[in-house]
Amino acid sequence: MELGRRRERPVLSDSRDTMRSMSGELPPSLRDVVGFQRGILTAAQATGAGLSKELLKSRVRHGRWQRLYRGVYATFSGEPGREAVLWAAVLSAGPDAMLGFRSAAEVDGLTDEVSQLIHVMVPAERRVRAATGIVVHYSSRARQARHPSFTPPRTRVEETILDLVGTASTVDEAVGIVTRGLGRRLTTAGKLRAAMRQRSHLRWRRELTELLSEDMEGVLSVLEYRYHRDVEKPHGLPRGNRQEPGQQDGHRVYRDVEYKPFRLVSELDGRIAHPAQARWADIGRDNAAVLAGLTTMRFSWLDLTTRPCEVAAKVATVLRQRGYTAFRPCSADCPVSRVAVPPKSA
């Protein structure tokens, strides 16, 4: 059985009928353990409760149980559910093992992808012979990183985020990991800052420190990060309110960046394709902004990644018309320098 096979979506529970059918075959002392571990049992747990190794082999031989890894069994027939597979991987790595990196991100909802490989973390002083389909990570902070109660055992979401940040090849990738955790309300900027302080070595520390600062509060996407970093900050634009709530047809909507005193909204669209339904939703939001007395400007991923100075100049033009004059060009040839400051009235 290929335990690392990709699924379309994670299955995080096993059949209750399967669980009930296999529970009658176990001594009472093991039933709760097996139920808790989604039908997975180790040889050490079984023999510790009085089952013989010959009995384990017999149940596998007759197809009633399955051997998933060395010393790890599924106490039922049929394909294991996703959570049973993850439990088996953790138990195969021995004491103090836990899910980490992409596998911890999967069960916490930090990613929607199901990795073919299962990532397991163990304390640095241990050595584990990794089974097929399992990647073992060694960490001197494994015990501090472990969540005290979540199951299957896994790293705290802040630790998972920072571990994945360490594997990011670009700052956009690192920012995307952090903002996804924040946007899905899996953690907070304060908790991430506290977790960062516990690490003497952390890739992208400077960028993450800025991202998690109070000035960046409300930034929930790579595009919003780029808008602040490449448009607002270097061009002296005022700091907009991010994810500002508004109303549309009696429902609450959120505007990406709103310059309240100047009645201006910047909407940032990171989609490459723009389905008709999403397009009409954007139009509806823009119309609602007009009814609220706001002007909306829209900028794409291409705008922000290839011509941020032009974006800044467009925003500055509207801000100038509404009384803001503190913007500045980021360089001698920046188009913001061509945004004329209105003459002072006599």
- Does residue 174 sit within a domain? yes
DSSP 154-176: BB-HHHHHHHHHTT-SSHHHHHH
Cβ atoms 299, 306 nearer than 8 A: no
CATH number at residue 250: 3.40.960
- Does residue 167 sit within a domain? yes
pLDDT in tens, the chain (346 residues): 334 333 444 444 444 444 444 555 788 889 999 999 999 999 999 999 999 999 999 999 999 999 999 999 999 999 999 999 999 999 999 989 999 999 999 999 999 999 899 999 999 999 998 889 999 999 999 999 999 999 999 999 999 999 999 999 999 999 999 999 999 999 999 999 999 999 999 999 999 999 999 888 888 889 999 999 999 999 999 999 998 887 766 777 788 999 999 999 999 986 544 444 555 455 666 656 665 678 999 999 999 999 999 999 999 999 999 999 999 999 999 999 988 655 555 4
Domain check: are 62 and 82 in the same one?
yes
- Does residue 118 sit within a domain? no
Among the listed residues 211, 146, 143, the one whose alpha carbon sits nearest the alpha carbon of residue 183: 211
- Does residue 261 sit within a domain? yes
Domain check: are 240 and 311 in the same one?
yes
Domain check: are 208 and 312 in the same one?
no
Handedness of CA 148, 152, 153, 155 (dihedral sign): negative
Domain check: are 334 and 255 in the same one?
yes
Domain endpoint, select from 33, 68, 89: 89
Predicted confidence (pLDDT) per residue in 33-73, tens digit: 999 999 999 999 999 999 999 999 999 999 999 999 999 99
Domain endpoint, select from 73, 89, 105: 89
- Does residue 254 sit within a domain? yes
Domain check: are 208 and 227 in the same one?
no
Domain check: are 301 and 194 in the same one?
no
Domain check: are 85 and 172 in the same one?
no
Q: Name every residue whose Cβ is closer than 8 Å to that of residue 200 and which is 6 or more positions away in sequence.
A: none
Domain check: are 83 and 30 in the same one?
yes
- The range of the structural domain enclosing residue 198 comes to 161-212
Domain check: are 323 and 263 in the same one?
yes
Domain endpoint, select from 89, 109, 138: 89
Domain count, the chain: 3
DSSP 225-282: HHIIIIIIGGGTPPPPEEEEEEEETTEEEEEEEEEGGGTEEEEEE--SS--HHHHHHH
Domain check: are 263 and 321 in the same one?
yes
Cβ atoms 163, 100 nearer than 8 A: yes
Residues counted in the chain: 346
